[in-house]
Structure 1
Amino acid sequence: MNAEVGNMAGLVLLGVLALAAGGCACVVWAERGGPRWVRYVATVTLAASELVRRSGKNRRRSLNRSTGDGD
């Protein structure tokens, strides 16, 4: 049973990696004037990366506030 869960997690991670790599390729292609669907995928990829970046910043800020109160 644990091997099945590990295999599934590996497949999910591989899928996420493939989507990220494809999105990055579309961003580069869109910069060089690719077709409309590539520009759309590039826009979605850049928006998703911005959301992830902001989420990380907010998480770090909340961690800094909680650890700095004890002095």
Structure 2
Amino acid sequence: MIALVLLGILALVVGGCVCVVWAERGGPRWARAVAAVTLGAGELLRRSGKNRSQDLDQSTGGGE
């Protein structure tokens, strides 16, 4: 069951990356919408990763 969920997530990620490339080359409107969602989700994940690493540095006393 977990493998199916991971495969589904992988399919969404790969599909989103394909839409980003396709939209960059002037793809249809729906591909541009999927690309925008994909890029937005990536930015949110990047920001949450930075926040977690900063929180971890503060809690362990590192980063100074």
Q: Give the alignment's TM-score, normalised by structure 1.
A: 0.85
Unmatched 5+ residue regions in structure 2? Answer: none
Number of residue-to-residue matches in the alignment: 62
Higher helix share: 1
Q: 1:37 aligns with which of 21, 30, 40?
A: 30
Find the counterpart in structure 1 of residue 7 from structure 2.
Answer: 14
TM-score, normalising length from structure 2? 0.94
Which aligned runs of 4 or more in structure 1 are off by greater than 4 angstroms? none
1:59 to 37, 52, 56: 52
| Structure whose CA Rg is larger | 1
Identity across the alignment (%) = 71
Contiguous gaps of at least 5 residues in structure 1: 1-7
1:16 maps to a residue whose letter is: I
